[in-house]
């Protein structure tokens, strides 16, 4: 797939304002899509809680492997089966999140993005809140390698329990879920896949992502909001938009000048406001595809490179 769209340079947002605290619907079409996003977001807290509470089955699995017996193997399978149901819920939810993000981007990536952002501020806010959740979910998932270990064991022994009527995740779905959780950032990867698909038919998608990042940066620089919670949300949305842009970009990623993103100031803000070990700097450093490319300017690389 060749390059579909090129940017003339950094996208100016001095004439764009999005009220992330008090945005309202502009019309019925926006109400429909934003209500759908709200319903999905209302379940994000439960997903986060489930991930935070996730307890791996390592003890059961190790016993089943080191002391194999019908009892130890059954105990291990029953334990991982419960966890697989949780993992399956994550996978299903990721598809819902990816689909609604794609729908919101259809709404915003119009070719007249500035006008769309100003007139559909609630859609921008909902899109941003979804990005925030995606970052939080993936941060937690990175801290739980047991998820992939549990699922690998489940797939290994699934054939032995094919007649179990309580099994919800069978072979075909297990293959898809295995690919999903193998990603270091599975939720963002699901978004990137859906967004890349949209990009094929809508060349304005990268500009909408760049505008999202730049608008958040401008709001932070100008101190438009006093609430620390709002400003933290804006920072996370800015980073999420950069990461997603970098994953779908066909022209060098988020770190090159032609991306349209005010990347240097965005990185400077994150580094200044958060310690070098924070999750946001790590997201920019490790969860993007192009940070390590030779095309990344040395100035940006030095800001994020802890080994400089």
pLDDT range class, residue 62, cuts 50, 70, 90: very high
CA gap 165, 159 in Å, rounded: 13
CA gap 220, 230 in Å, rounded: 10
Query: What is the per-residue pLDDT across 1-40, written as a single tens digit (0 to 9) for each?
Result: 333 344 445 667 878 899 999 999 999 999 999 999 999 9
Question: Looking at residues 139-168, what average pLDDT do you find?
Answer: 93
DSSP notation for 103-155: HHHHHH-SS-HHHHHHH-HHHHHHHHHHHHHHHHHHHHHHT-THHHHHHHHHH
Does the pLDDT at position 60 exceed 90?
yes
All residues at 6 or more sequence positions from 246 whose CB lies less than 8 Å from its CB, including other chains: 253, 254, 255, 288, 289, 290, 291
CA gap 254, 90 in Å, rounded: 28
pLDDT at 304: 86
> Residue 10 has what DSSP assignment?
P
Per DSSP, helices labelled H in 109-120 are 113-119
pLDDT at 83: 97
| Percentage above 70 pLDDT, the chain | 95
CA gap 122, 210 in Å, rounded: 18
pLDDT at 166: 87
Q: Taking Cα atoms as reference points, which of 294, 290, 241 lies closest to residue 266?
A: 241
| Domain ranges within the chain, ordered by starting residue | 23-130+138-197, 204-308
Q: Token digits for 184?
A: 């270091």
Kindly tell me the burial class for residue 69, based on how many C-beta atoms sit within 10 Å of its own C-beta (0-12, 13-18, 19 or more). exposed
């Amino acid at each position: 797939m060749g390059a579909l769209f090129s940017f003339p340079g950094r996208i100016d947002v001095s004439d764009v304002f999005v009220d992330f605290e008090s945005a309202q619907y502009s019309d019925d079409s926006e109400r429909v899509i934003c209500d759908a996003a709200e319903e999905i977001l209302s379940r994000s807290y439960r997903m986060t809680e489930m991930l935070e509470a996730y307890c791996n089955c390592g003890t059961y699995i190790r016993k089943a492997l080191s002391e194999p017996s019908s009892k130890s193997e059954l105990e291990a399978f029953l334990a991982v089966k419960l966890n697989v149901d949780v993992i399956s819920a994550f996978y299903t939810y990721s598809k819902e999140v990816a689909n609604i993000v794609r729908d919101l981007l259809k709404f915003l990536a119009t070719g007249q993005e500035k006008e769309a952002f100003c007139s559909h501020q609630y859609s921008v806010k909902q899109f941003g809140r979804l990005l925030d959740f995606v970052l939080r979910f993936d941060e937690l998932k990175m801290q739980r390698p047991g998820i992939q270990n549990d699922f690998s064991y489940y797939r290994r022994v699934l054939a032995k329990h094919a007649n179990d009527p309580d099994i919800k995740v069978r072979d075909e779905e297990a293959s898809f879920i295995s690919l999903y959780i193998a990603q270091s950032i599975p939720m963002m990867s699901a978004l990137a896949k859906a967004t890349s698909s949209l990009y094929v038919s809508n060349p304005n998608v990268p500009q909408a992502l760049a505008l999202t990042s730049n608008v958040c940066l401008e709001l932070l620089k100008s101190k438009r909001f006093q609430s620390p919670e709002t400003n933290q949300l804006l920072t996370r949305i800015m980073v999420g938009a950069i990461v997603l842009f970098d994953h779908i970009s066909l022209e060098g990623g988020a770190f090159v000048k032609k991306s349209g993103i005010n990347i240097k100031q965005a990185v400077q803000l994150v580094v200044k406001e958060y310690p070098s070990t924070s999750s946001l700097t790590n997201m920019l450093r490790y969860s993007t595809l192009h940070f390590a490319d030779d095309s990344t300017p040395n100035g940006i690389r030095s800001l994020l490179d802890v080994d400089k």
